[in-house]
Amino acid sequence: MSEERKTCTGVVYTKPLHAELRDDIPVPEMDEVGAVTRTVFSTISRGTEMDLYTGQFHSSGPGTQWYPMLPGYIPVGEVQDVGKRIKHIEPGDYVVGSNLFGDWAGDYCVAWAGHLETVVYCGETHSNLGAERAVKIPDGVPLQHAGVSLLGAIAYHGVEYKVQPGEGETVFVIGQGAIGSMAAQLCMVRGARVIVCDLCQNRLDVAERWGADATINASETNMWEALRELCDEDEPQAIIEVTGEPELLQSVLHNAPRYCRIHAQGMYLKPIEIYIPETLFARHLTLSATCGDRPEMVAAVLDLMAQGKLQVEHLVSDIMGYDQATEAYRRVHSEPDEVVTIALDWR
């Protein structure tokens, strides 16, 4: 890395359970397939980002993840400059992007450097995609909410590519955080009957407002007994498990009706044992899983948001200044019943 490279301010994990601001983060060089953006908002997600915040690394290989770490994967920014091969965005546009990679950050581990005041999309940070990873935000989508589209794209990946619920089918979605809420709403957009479950009544109240057909509070009742009361014998046709809890996924596998399509949408950090002959084959279950998103999925979700078909306001629990990052992370980690995501304001 050149010593002459510019630096910018960004959020850094220096150790488990501690985030702070530093102003010495290297800024990569833009190239012909790149773009430079000035961040206006960046979204703290509860899933992958909190795993790394608490020290639950996603790789056991030596030298793959370490502190100090540049976290986050949902920057929303104004385009400042673009490479000569970039045609889909131009200076002045607002974009949402994610997942910077590579060893451009010196001693910092890139995982995935979304909370930076300057974000560079280029071959060095985004492999072959470059600025294609920056998706233009359409009119009608508030910038403070736009970052949620990336979490919605993760849900879109599962719903549209794997679950594919048909009109009139019943889908049971377990977990009503950001991805679970978006997955449930995407199923409803496709015409499915949607039943959602969560431990927090306030999240279920929101689900009722956006139109869920039924809700189950798993902290007050047996989830499977309540589901059976709401369904015929061959329902639900699909179950989406979004919590990332291995024990819950195993419970789904043992309680789902025959011929059910089960989709594992959570990030499972512990092994899950499945005896396939009895669990899947004998009961004719289908098990699928997805992780991550692609730019076209983000664009599809942004379009649905612009049309008012997806409700996302409830997923941004608060907006805090970027200089309050330490407290924002503490809240996301310690207030799971109250906080879904927090947007950091960089303006």
Q: Are strands 35-44 and 94-96 parallel, antiparallel or unpaired?
A: unpaired
Residue 255 and residue 224 in contact, taking contact as beta carbons nearer than 8 Å: yes
Instruction: Determine the pLDDT at residue 4.
Output: 66
41 Cβ contact list (under 8 Å, min separation 6): 75, 76, 143, 144, 146, 147, 319, 343, 344, 345, 346
Q: Would you tell me the crossing angle of helices 178-189 and 295-306 to the nearest 10 degrees?
A: 70
Instruction: Determine the pLDDT at residue 340.
Output: 96
User: In this structure, what are the phi and psi dihedrals at residue 257, rounded to the nearest 5 degrees?
Assistant: -70, 160
Higher pLDDT, 20 or 268: 20
% of the chain surpassing 70 pLDDT: 98
Please give the sequence-ordered ranges of beta strands (E in DSSP) within the chain, or none if there are none. Answer: 7-15, 18-26, 35-44, 69-71, 75-82, 94-96, 109-111, 118-121, 135-136, 170-174, 193-198, 214-217, 238-241, 261-264, 286-289, 316-321, 341-345
Kindly tell me the burial class for residue 199, based on how many C-beta atoms sit within 10 Å of its own C-beta (0-12, 13-18, 19 or more).
middle
Answering whether pTM is above 0.85, one says yes
Instruction: Determine the pLDDT at residue 2.
Output: 43
For residue 253, is pLDDT > 80?
yes
Span 303-326, average pLDDT: 98
What one-character-per-residue DSSP string does 226-269 give? HHHHHS-TT--SEEEE-S--HHHHHHHHHHSPTT-EEEE-S---
Residue 134 and residue 35 in contact, taking contact as beta carbons nearer than 8 Å: yes
For residue 325, is pLDDT > 60?
yes
Instruction: Determine the pLDDT at residue 58.
Output: 80
For residue 3, is pLDDT > 70?
no
What one-character-per-residue DSSP string does 190-213 give? TT-EEEEEES-HHHHHHHHHHT-S
Instruction: Determine the pLDDT at residue 101.
Output: 85
For residue 197, is pLDDT > 70?
yes
For residue 1, is pLDDT > 60?
no
For residue 23, is pLDDT > 80?
yes
For residue 82, is pLDDT > 70?
yes
Mean pLDDT of the chain: 95
Sign of the dihedral through C-alpha 60, 64, 67, 69: negative
Render pLDDT for 279-314 as a digit per residue (tens, 0 to 9): 999 999 999 999 889 999 999 999 999 999 999 999
Render pLDDT for 29-71 as a digit per residue (tens, 0 to 9): 999 999 999 999 999 999 889 999 999 988 767 678 899 999 9
Render pLDDT for 88-142 as a digit per residue (tens, 0 to 9): 999 999 999 977 888 899 999 999 999 999 999 998 888 778 999 999 999 999 9
For residue 200, is pLDDT > 60?
yes
Render pLDDT for 232-247 as a digit per residue (tens, 0 to 9): 999 999 999 999 999 9
Going from the N-terminus, what domains does the chain have, and what CATH number goes with each? Answer: 7-136+312-345 (3.90.180.10), 151-289 (3.40.50.720)
